[in-house]
Structure 1
């Protein structure tokens, strides 16, 4: 994390998320107005984690970023902050130290087959499920962590640009449609659509607004 990043407003990182997922310009309509700011900041935060874990051609910079994030999340629990997204998220009743500790599994998931990586990701998926339930003000569902494992594997496949990996992730994608919060279900479905394109050896692209509307509506309803 650079000093320049530290001085950026949280909107910079949320805009970075929107640049990669422009569908949210439409999908956000299906999220309650009072939940939108925190949800978008949360999804932007998870994008930062995924980029650090699986992005780039070299592992070392990402490993350093993940270590930085662990320290940062611990600071959030103490009222401190360096990253701008803390302005939107630090006050949420999330167990930030537990989430930071769960990031420990990510370095071991940069490489390897999806089935083995899925098991490694389970502690992080559990921590994310707990955090997202807190964010949405609802109890953790029994299938929430399984959905988060699929989402994490899907994000890894997108970073790798690997069609075979995308096919393997889709083959084990959870069938229970009611898992997670409405925001999580929407993002999971957008991710799944991109994985379908990648698995078909096409360039994953954002969906047109007329396709996002019914997709987001169904996902939000579960």
Structure 2
């Protein structure tokens, strides 16, 4: 596989998970789109490491590889295809590399919602700083990034992602589903309504919040099936400056 094909495979993998983006990106300046999607694809790779099922050792090894790779990006050297679009930026890659162990710690069930957000605070702050440099904008609100990571974890890990304080008292299917939806509702309340940051972040955050809102309300998530609603949400997010 050529370098260009390898890069496209990572970008396409992210787009496949976020089909809404094909509609929403019309509000993102064309010059920002490729780098934004590459950055979001990198964050998705890290989310996958956090949300690994089964034996965590391969994922932990991959996380160690990423830590080394991001340190190399600080010196403008890269091996991963995403580095073609991201590594040239003068971003605090070392800070992000240093924050990666938090993803391993965040797999453990938190005692409550505040503890779950706190476990990702360092990672979210580092990601916000890198994103600000990449997309040449003020940093996003770190709790919004942390909430989005936790929303992704809920979608992938289900009940294992729910803090101890919201775990069901019984093992029935209804009780488990109520616990998951209660956690979704908690995250929505904790997620800052204005994520701030660059325009692509504001748009992606709006899409992710809508998915979580649909889940909390027991509605089908949509995922690209409601283009007019997606356009409206993306337009509103793009207009907001803070």
TM-score with structure 1 setting the length = 0.89
Partner of 1:34: 31
Alpha carbons of structure 1 residues 5 and 43: separation in structure 2 relative to 1, 3 Å: farther
Partner of 1:213: 231
Partner of 1:18: 15
> Alpha carbon RMSD of aligned pairs, Å?
2.1
Moved over 4 A (4+): 4-8
Counterparts of 1:99-114 in structure 2, within 5 Å, are 99-113=96-110, 114=113
Residues 117 and 143, structure 2, Cα contact 8 Å, conserved in 1: no
Q: CA deviation at 1:201?
A: 4.1
Identify unmatched segments of 5+ residues in structure 2: 159-179
Distance 2:208 2:54 in 1: 22
Distance 2:214 2:57 in 1: 30
Distance 1:45 1:103 in 2: 13
Alignment deviations for residues 30-52 of structure 1 (CA, whole Å, 9 cap, x no partner): 11111111001000110000011
Distance 1:188 1:139 in 2: 15
Aligned pairs, number: 216
Alpha carbons of structure 1 residues 89 and 101: separation in structure 2 relative to 1, 3 Å: same
Partner of 1:117: 116
TM-score with structure 2 setting the length = 0.82
Distance 1:178 1:96 in 2: 22
Q: CA deviation at 1:127?
A: 0.8
Partner of 1:132: 131
Alpha carbons of structure 1 residues 64 and 178: separation in structure 2 relative to 1, 3 Å: closer
Residues 6 and 81, structure 2, Cα contact 8 Å, conserved in 1: yes
More divergent stretch after superposition (60-69 vs 102-111): 60-69
